[in-house]
Structure 1
Amino acid sequence: MNADEARSVLQARPSSAEATASVVSLRDAVAQAVSQAAGGLEWQPVGEQSSAGCGAPFSGLDATTVFVGDLLAPRAIHEQWAAAQEAAQRLAADAGFTEVVVKVDRPDNHQVRFVSPDGAYLDLGTKVTTLVSGATGCHLP
């Protein structure tokens, strides 16, 4: 893809602010659904929102990926993992995050990533704690 084609792809996408708001909204909805599936979790914000430039084919086009702040619950949800993942997957799919990547699936450690066609993702994982995090794909300001 040449630079003009890459710019056209980016211009067809929502702005970075709109994409960030969508990922934050999904992150929050997933945290609430996971909390319900797991019998109640207290979520704490962890880390700050940050951004980074994009790699090829979008490098040099003023596009960024925004990493939304994480939400952390101080306990694991191994016994409720299947229900939590199902609830998260349903919400993610409704938001267009239809690709599911199981990163870890062991009895005491789970992590799954839901990915949208434009490269945005939402991660849900549990080991000692439970974490929901996400990022936009590449977007123009």
Structure 2
Amino acid sequence: MTRRIVPLFAALATTLTLLTTACGGLDIMDNPYNHTDDEIARAAALLPTLPTLEDTEAELTAAVLRIADAATAIAPELVWEQRRERRQIGCGGAFAKTDGLEIDLPNYVSPIPIPDAAWPRVLQAARDILAPLGITELTVRVDRPGDHDVVVTSSDGRHVDLGTKVAALVSGRTGCRLPAARS
């Protein structure tokens, strides 16, 4: 009898959890995918004020490649390879119902990780390259010997990822923008 009660109790607990979370019940208004018409209109109105998707992609790609070059100048053993192609994706949040798109830049990877002794200088070089673009908000995900992972973001949705552990990575995303053909 106890064996039947435990699975039944687990199923009941799971159902109650789903009903009382953003997956379908009482907190539905807190769901980040529910946006008012006003929020969507503000998002749509913002897009034409930003550079085009193509211009943003070109500027961010140049910055990512400059970061990779700067890292190699600091740690010559780093050799960068493109490991993933760029991807065009739809925007999220209030921008999801607009004509905007985002580009995930290619991943540039070095199979040799950034040495711990070089990490602070590589990170500072990246910040120096990104600052003139307004990409200045640093979030440290991990910072311990042999394992570093940061993202540097801008208020308009652009971000650059930089990290090292088994290998090193630099990549980025444009944030939501209108393609030139739609602006």
Given the two structures, how large is their TM-score scaled by the length of structure 1?
0.94
Worse overlay, 12-21 or 33-42 = 33-42
Larger RCO: 1 or 2 (CA < 8 Å, sep 6+): 1
1:53 maps to which residue?
90
The CA distance in 1 between the partners of 2:46 and 2:137, in whole Å, is: 20
Q: Kindly indicate whether the alpha-carbon contact (under 8 Å) linking 1:37 and 1:87 is maintained by their aligned counterparts in 2.
A: no
Q: Kindly indicate whether the alpha-carbon contact (under 8 Å) linking 1:70 and 1:132 is maintained by their aligned counterparts in 2.
A: yes
User: 3-state SS of the aligned residue for 1:24?
Assistant: helix
RMSD: 1.2
Q: Does 1:38 align with 2:75?
A: yes
Q: How does 1:3-42 map to 2 (within 5 A)?
A: 3-42=40-79
Q: Shift of the alpha carbon at 1:40?
A: 4.3
1:62 maps to which residue?
99
Q: Which string of whole-angstrom CA distances, capped at 9 and with x for unpartnered residues, describes residues 41-67 of structure 1? A: 211111111021112211111211110
Unaligned runs of 5+ in 2: 1-37
The CA distance in 2 between the partners of 1:129 and 1:92, in whole Å, is: 22
Q: Kindly indicate whether the alpha-carbon contact (under 8 Å) linking 2:77 and 2:112 is maintained by their aligned counterparts in 1.
A: no
User: 3-state SS of the aligned residue for 1:79?
Assistant: coil
Q: Kindly indicate whether the alpha-carbon contact (under 8 Å) linking 1:7 and 1:58 is maintained by their aligned counterparts in 2.
A: yes
2:121 maps to which residue?
83
Q: Percent identity?
A: 35
The CA distance in 1 between the partners of 2:130 and 2:149, in whole Å, is: 15
Q: Kindly indicate whether the alpha-carbon contact (under 8 Å) linking 2:78 and 2:113 is maintained by their aligned counterparts in 1.
A: no
1:102 maps to which residue?
140
Structure with the largest fraction of strand: 1
Structure 1 outlier segments of 4+, above 3 Å: none
The CA distance in 2 between the partners of 1:40 and 1:8, in whole Å, is: 46
Given the two structures, how large is their TM-score scaled by the length of structure 2?
0.74
Q: Which has the larger radius of gyration?
A: 2
Q: Does 1:115 align with 2:141?
A: no
Task: Name the count of aligned residue pairs.
Answer: 141
Q: Does 1:72 align with 2:109?
A: yes
